[in-house]
Homo-oligomer: A and B are copies of this chain.
Amino acid sequence: MERNIRLLIEYDGSRYEGWQRLGKGSGVTIQGKLEEVLGKMTGENVELIGAGRTDAGVHAYEQVANFHTDCQMKCWEIKYYLNRYLPRDIAVTRVDDVPERFHSRYNAKGKKYLYRIAIGDVPCVFDRKYTYYCFDKLDITAMKKAAKYLTGEHDFKAFCSNKRMNKSSVREIYDIDIYADARELQIMVYGNGFLYNMVRIIVGTLIEVGKGERQPEDMIRILESKDRTQAGVTAPAQGLFLQEVEY
């Protein structure tokens, strides 16, 4: 395969069983849909490598993926072809030739995830599919304080849904930024990598802090416990977006 092509992909994950291709007869995935169209386009059996394996229902503003091919189409032709044949909830926003050794997952140095929470007494009707609605008033100051304890390098085993995780669960969170206006609260989590469900469990735990059900200082104990049952609930997928991948 003489070319390595990188795609930037935007998708509404509502209808999909997540990024990763499943076995035959299983649900529809973003990777599966893209590989299907890439296969038709190239006549090859394309394997698309995604930077982040987003869960069922999770969206992406900018997923990064790459594939190797002998296809000779120009980048703009590939972009046009893909957008023509992809369903309307998946869009390829950019196509580039990249060096042969570029690997969208292994080379990723950082990822930003955005979690959107509808707040206030009336959730916005236009963002229903893209936010999680929290009726309770949230104490943002407490949430920011709790977020500080999670920032930095820690063993995030307590924030991982995968019980059989036997690789290292140490990750570094560079920053957690919390911003709110009258109707929406956004939590941006920026780190070098994330465990299974890690962002959603962090968000679920921060929401419990915001409701006053936990104290910011509890984060220390939860991290130390390395016990999933000590952290908060996993926040619903629909509010989560893969925002950016850094290299």
A positions within 8 Å CB-CB of B: 10-12, 59, 79-80, 83, 88-93, 121-126, 128, 130
Contact indicator B125/A88 (Cβ below 8 Å): yes
Q: Give min CB distance, A7 to chain B, whole Å.
A: 12
Contact indicator A91/B122 (Cβ below 8 Å): yes
In the bound complex, residues from chain B placing their C-beta under 8 Å from that of A10 are: 122, 124-126
Listed A/B pairs (15) with beta-carbon separation below 8 Å: A10-B122, A10-B124, A10-B125, A10-B126, A12-B125, A59-B126, A79-B122, A83-B121, A83-B122, A88-B128, A89-B125, A89-B128, A91-B122, A91-B125, A92-B122
Contact indicator B130/A126 (Cβ below 8 Å): yes
Q: Give min CB distance, A54 to chain B, whole Å.
A: 14
Contact indicator A11/B125 (Cβ below 8 Å): yes
In the bound complex, residues from chain B placing their C-beta under 8 Å from that of A122 are: 10, 79, 83, 91-93
Q: Give min CB distance, A134 to chain B, whole Å.
A: 15
In-complex Cβ contact of A123 among B79, B91, B92, B125 (8 A): B91
Cα–Cα distance between A12 and B123 once the two chains are bound (Å): 12
Contact indicator B59/A121 (Cβ below 8 Å): no
Q: Which residue of B lies closest to A12 (CB)?
A: B125
Q: Give min CB distance, A11 to chain B, whole Å.
A: 6
In the bound complex, residues from chain B placing their C-beta under 8 Å from that of A90 are: 125
In the bound complex, residues from chain B placing their C-beta under 8 Å from that of A79 are: 121-122
Q: Give min CB distance, A65 to chain B, whole Å.
A: 15
Cα–Cα distance between A80 and B122 once the two chains are bound (Å): 9
